[in-house]
Structure 1
Amino acid sequence: MQKYFAVLLSSLFIAVGGVSAQVVDQSTPDGLIKNVVSDVMASVKSDPEIQKGNIPRIVDLVEKKIVPYTDMRRTTEMAMGPNWKKATPEQQAQLVSEFKNLLIRTYSGALSQLRDQTVQFKPLRAAPDDKEVVVKTVVIGRGDPVPLDYRLEKTANGWRVYDMNIMGVWLVEAYRNQFANQISQNGVEGLVKFLQDRNKQLAAAKPTN
């Protein structure tokens, strides 16, 4: 299941790397997802170092090909829920940065496992003036097809992904209880420290493959 979250993440975070900003279709949400997913999967499959599990190379790919097309601030705010307003502006910035790093490092290893998977894109059901949409896809590979959905919002800079769903579980919801528990026990600063410590552990961990 982790490998499919990697595909999700590949679309959630993407900075322009192998494809220039002019080539990526940002005019429609499904067009953006198509370009992002296709570019990331092609980059993974053509890079032997990524396939070997080279974490720095994978992290670099994610930073370059995923992050700019996301709204990590909104993702973090939704995961925090009402507790977001309890955080100072400095703490909010720390939380956004640490949560982004956590997602990258948690699923970076799974990117190296992408091999023969393909992605089918479902017809977009949205009105032309919608500001928020859900793009539905299905990952085809070994085993049963895996549905992946992306929530996007229209911003001044184009469409941005802020949440993802794999087999009925939204990413934001998956972290909301964990964040709430950390804050109830140790406050907002405790959550910041928890994320920092977790990221240090992941950064120090050796590749499993």
Structure 2
Amino acid sequence: MASSFLIFASAVSAQTGALSALPAPLQLAQSPAAMAAPEDVVRRVTQDVIEIFKSDRSLTQKPDPERVLAIVNERVMPVVNFSRMTALSVGRYWNQATSEQQRQLMEAFRELLVLTYSEAVTYAPEATIQIRPGRYLPTDDEVIVRTLLQRPSKEPIPIDYRMQRTASGWKVYDFNVLGLWMVEHYRAQFAQIISARGIDGLIGVLIEKNKSLRQSRTGRP
């Protein structure tokens, strides 16, 4: 599961500002002809992340946890569509949350993904991606891009991406590893916590989990 995040982390296309207090800049819509195909987005951004780790072997030989966290946070996490991903993961409770609770949920969920998967990107130099044939029409606004993650002497791992066409290009908002969709996985966990402790309870659980993960990654709270 850890190595599979390499492709998830690097394949999602840019959507910055989900947690920013400032309004996002206006973006001009791309014509369908000018917009990169969804599988091309996956291939291009994945290769970019792989090259970062290939160019600096110290990132994999003796990785500095703080440095790896910074790379994930700065290079990978800003390209995740956290607004939609978080809303889908929280499910029906999302609309019951106040705007402040929604902000805290997105912030805590973002940090959870950064900390959970920061170690996985150190596998980047060994990984390659194979794009499998698509099953969608050029006019579709939502597609699933199917890939295989390959590493030497390892079984290929199938990874699928749910992507949505937006005015600024294709965006990934969910992924599937070995038959498990990430959003569904978190939605089930979050629903149990909210039922027992409420939305503020979920926020508290995420904050405590993040503290524990950060300490294990860096040795500091």
- The answer to whether TM tops 0.5 is yes
Provide the residue aligned with 1:37 in structure 2.
46
Q: Give 1:48 deviation, angstroms.
A: 3.0
Residue identity opposite 1:5 in structure 2: F
Aligned pair 1:59/2:97, yes or no? no
CA distance in 1, matches of 2:154, 2:37: 31
Q: Tell me whether 1:96 sits opposite 2:106 in the alignment.
A: yes
1:171 to 165, 182, 201: 182
Larger radius of gyration: 2
Verify the 8 A CA contact 1:120 1:138 in the aligned structure 2: yes
CA distance in 1, matches of 2:15, 2:177: 22
Residues in 1 aligned to 2:66 and 2:91: alpha-carbon distance in whole angstroms: 32
| 1:13-28 alignment runs, 5 A limit | 27-28=36-37
Letter in 2 for 1:86: Q
- Point out the more displaced range, 162-171 or 120-129: 120-129
Taking a change above 3 Å as real, the CA distance of residues 91 and 152 of structure 1, as seen in their structure-2 partners, is same
Describe the shift of the 1:43–1:26 C-alpha distance in structure 2 as closer, same or farther (beyond 3 A). farther
Counterpart of 2:118 in structure 1 is 108
Of stretches 25-34 and 148-157 in structure 1, the one that deviates more from structure 2 is 25-34
Residues 109, 206 of structure 2: 8 Å contact kept: yes
Segments of structure 2 that go 5 or more residues without pairing to the other structure are 17-33
* 1:65, distance to aligned residue in structure 2 (A): 2.5
Alignment-derived partner of residue 6 in structure 1: 6
Q: Percent identity?
A: 37
Correspondence 1:200 to 2:211:
yes
Task: For residues 121-159 of structure 1, give each alpha carbon's deviation from its aligned partner in whole angstroms, at most 9, with x where no partner exists.
Answer: 112322122111111110111321110111111122221
Report the Cα distance in structure 1 between the residues aligned to 2:83 and 2:209, rounded to whole angstroms.
19
**Deviation digits for residues 149-196 of structure 1 (CA, Å, limit 9, x no counterpart):** 111111222211100001111111111111011101110011111111
- Checking the alignment, whether the CA contact within 8 Å between 1:14 and 1:66 is kept in structure 2 is no
**4+ residue runs over 4 A deviation:** 13-16
DSSP 3-state at the match of 1:56: helix
TM score, norm. by length of structure 1 = 0.87
Superposition RMSD in Å: 2.2
Task: Check conservation: 2:14, 2:171, Cα contact below 8 A.
Answer: no
Q: 1:115 to 1:5 in 2, by over 3 A?
A: same
Alignment of 1:58-207 (within 5 A): 58-141=68-151, 142-206=153-217
Alpha-carbon separation, structure 1, partners of 2:172 and 2:126: 25
1:201 partner amino acid: S
Deviation of 1:207 (Å): 5.7
Q: Which residue identity is paired with 2:100?
A: E
CA distance in 1, matches of 2:211, 2:13: 20
Paired residues, what number? 200
Q: Which runs of 5+ in 1 are unaligned?
A: 17-24
Q: Provide Cα deviations, 1:188-207, integer angstroms capped at 9, x if missing partner.
A: 01111111111111112246
TM-score, normalised via structure 2 length: 0.82
Q: Distance between the aligned counterparts of 1:6 and 1:139, measured in 2?
A: 9
